[in-house]
Chain A
Amino acid sequence: MGDAMSTDLPASKGSGVKLADSDFAADHRSTDVRTAVGDYWLRVRSGDLGAIPAILGLAGLIVLFTALRPDTFLSKGNLANLSTQALPVTILAMGLVFVLLLGEIDLSAGVASGVCAAVMAKLIVDSGQPWYVAVLAAIAIGIVIGTVLGWLVAVVRIPSFVVSLAFFLGLQGITLRLIGDGGTVPVHDDVIVALANKNMPLWLGWTAAVVCAAGYAATQLRRWQRQRSRGLAASPIELVAARVAVVAVVLLAGTYLLSLDRAPSPLVTLAGIPWGVPLVAVLLIICTFVLGRTSFGRHIYAVGGNAEAARRAGINVTRIKVAVFMISSALAAISGVVAASRLNSVATDSGGGNTLLYAVGAAVIGGTSLFGGRGRARDAVLGGLVIAIIDNGLGLLGTKAYANFLITGVVLLLAASIDATARRRRSSTGR
């Protein structure tokens, strides 16, 4: 490829320009695996950790809990349980990734999910509305909450920490008013309940997994081919293939494990992927596309990296800020619906307690920076799994509530310290 670049380029301005081999040599050098791996290692050492902490955390926790509870933790039933346990926190974290990318915080996302779930439950139970009307209403309420929140942050310019803390208190009051002191609203709608309690037919699960794996492979390979044929910067094909292979193996292995019969009695069958999992997959694909492939997403990263530069480049910073809070609260609403499905009810404390901290922890453990400008939608999935495993494992160990709080707090602090250390490292090695 190196020689191809020393040909004459069409003159952009003035006379024909020669692009010497050395100009973008680095782009073509990286088509060799060793250099690519070397570059990656250099990035990691300079503080760009990506998904490494989350993957190490996942592996460590799985080994730990398997050692402590060998017969229950890795049982088929518990694996399915784990996947539904991770759903609400993952969806909430995915919304928070948008807010964190700007270096802002939304402490009210958890209780917003509670309010939206309460609205949904009341519409179904008291007004007899069909599930889709109730869910759309919940999402609409989420968007309204996010708009007000974002407006107060972006236009009135109150720090998001304070605004969302006020919302954290205020929204709990609204949930309480909707549901009544100490009460719960049961949710019996078939579709809502199915999200976390019913499974996809086996054939559909397998089809979806294969389609996702094939789709991922196709987009990756097509991109690689286009970059290659136009002489653009491209990863070595071996790395592209390895990425595709890892994703395919994870998808198919997960499908296999969830397709095993996990019914405690041999008389019935209980198998398949819970319906909430494809929901998260769809959200993940949409958010990844928006953040990575649209100019809106690009502008979110720009505002998070250098708001002044973004403003001077003509980006409407206020609009971006309001938009991320709207997205965060809308996803919080969906998370609230899934949580309601899991518990078959909405209670006054839905979305309260440690819900929000779990979600922030998930995003940060997954690799999203609290300082803005760094993060991806998949961080929420990786971090959500880590958080779910901690929650699930501690449950199996039967630790006391006080210990749960302590351990979760320590995990969140640990993730934040990794983030802060990595950031220091980045700024000190930035040549």
Chain B
Amino acid sequence: MSHATAVRPVLELRGIDKSFGPVRVLHDVALTAHPGEVTALVGDNGAGKTTLVKGIGGVHGFDAGEYRFNGEPVRPRSPRDAAALGIEVVHQDLALCENLDVVENMFLGRERSNGLALDETAMEEAARRTLAGLSVRTVGSVRRRVSELSGGQRQTVAIARAVLWDSRLVVLDEPAAALGVAQTQQVLELVRRLADKGLAVILVSHNMNDVFAVSDRIVALYLGRTAAQVRTADVTHRQVVELITSGRTGDLGLPA
């Protein structure tokens, strides 16, 4: 695992507030994500993980707080804005078109053209290069339709699509939630490789085993607040569970 504390964080959130009408979903949330590291975002249902992820990805804005990307204050207003900055979010439902093949999905909405006609050659080559760069062995032909792929393979395609665009930060929302054991393992390995290639990765997960298997840091949300940001190596399984369920453990976490 890299020691990237000296490296400038890719993403810095500070004092983030977000309310939906009278409901305050996020309150004074802080989160940093470093290049080359997997930052796990954990929290119970309703802790605000999804709201935070959507805010990062530009689906909705934050009400208050500091959002810095590569040190610059930014305010993405749409997923397109976020993508232009280099932020890609892989949502839980993956958003793939089953009737299109792997290459077509990876370039969806950002096709390369040669005049009027699509440049299939360039797209297929770039897709293969990206998949090869991630050492993906599980897709078979890149011209297979997504409907013919397994859940893990689809997850792989969605992740590969996110890194195709020179992105700096990839946010994965519960990538292993619906997968079997072997496929989960493959996806976690892929998550690790993304970080090893120098990307900042935020992994939203419920599963402590997955979190401890791949993450460098853990950010625990408790009722819309950041309970703690810790190095994974510094905490135990039990401590993280306590942070999730009660917001503190020992001297870590929110004040009593």
- Residues of A at under 8 Å CB distance from B? 9-14, 17, 19-20, 22-27, 30, 46, 226-227, 230, 232-233, 289, 293-295, 298-299, 301-302, 304-306, 308-310, 312-315, 373-374, 426, 430-431
Q: Distance in Å from the Cβ of A313 to the closest Cβ of chain B? A: 3
Q: Given the complex of chains A and B, what is the CA–CA distance between A430 and B108 in angstroms?
A: 21
Q: Given the complex of chains A and B, what is the CA–CA distance between A295 and B118 in angstroms?
A: 6
B28: interface (CB < 8 Å): no
A14, A24, A232, A302: which contacts B140 (Cβ < 8 A)? A24
B99 touches A309 (CB 8 A): no
A27, A305, A315, A426: which contacts B109 (Cβ < 8 A)? A315
B100 touches A13 (CB 8 A): no
Stretch at the interface among B10-18, B37-45, B121-129: B121-129
Q: Distance in Å from the Cβ of B96 to the closest Cβ of chain A? A: 6
Q: Which residues of B contact A17 (CB under 8 A)?
A: 132-133, 135
B97: interface (CB < 8 Å): yes
Q: Which residues of A contact B91 (CB under 8 A)?
A: 312
B150 touches A431 (CB 8 A): yes
A233 touches B142 (CB 8 A): yes
B207: interface (CB < 8 Å): no
- 5 tightest A-B CB contacts, nearest first: A313-B109, A305-B97, A305-B99, A373-B99, A309-B95
A13 touches B198 (CB 8 A): yes
Given contact pairs A12-B129, A373-B98, a sample of 14 additional A-B residue pairs in the complex whose CB atoms are under 8 Å apart = A13-B133, A14-B133, A17-B135, A26-B144, A46-B148, A293-B116, A295-B113, A298-B111, A305-B99, A312-B95, A314-B83, A314-B110, A315-B109, A426-B147
B108, B136, B142: which contacts A27 (Cβ < 8 A)? B142
Q: Given the complex of chains A and B, what is the CA–CA distance between A313 and B110 in angstroms?
A: 8
Q: Given the complex of chains A and B, what is the CA–CA distance between A293 and B144 in angstroms?
A: 18
B79: interface (CB < 8 Å): yes
Which residue on chain B has the smallest CB distance to residue A25?
B140
Which residue on chain A has the smallest CB distance to residue B161?
A313
Which residue on chain B has the smallest CB distance to residue A20?
B137
Given A20-B137, A27-B143, A233-B141, CB of A312 within 8 Å of CB of B79: yes
Q: Distance in Å from the Cβ of A298 to the closest Cβ of chain B? A: 6
Q: Which residues of A contact B129 (CB under 8 A)?
A: 9-10, 12
Q: Mark B86-109, 1 if CB is under 8 A from A, else 0.
A: 000001011111111000100011
A23 touches B95 (CB 8 A): no
Q: Which residues of A contact B117 (CB under 8 A)?
A: 289, 293-294
Q: Distance in Å from the Cβ of A120 to the closest Cβ of chain B? A: 30
A9 touches B132 (CB 8 A): yes
Given A24-B140, A302-B97, A314-B109, CB of A14 within 8 Å of CB of B198: yes
Q: Distance in Å from the Cβ of A166 to the closest Cβ of chain B? A: 30
Q: Distance in Å from the Cβ of A61 to the closest Cβ of chain B? A: 29
What are some 29 contacts across the A-B interface (CB < 8 A)? A9-B132, A9-B133, A11-B133, A13-B197, A14-B197, A17-B132, A17-B133, A20-B135, A23-B135, A24-B142, A26-B144, A27-B142, A30-B141, A226-B121, A233-B141, A293-B116, A294-B113, A295-B111, A298-B111, A301-B99, A306-B95, A306-B97, A309-B96, A309-B97, A312-B91, A313-B110, A314-B109, A315-B108, A373-B99
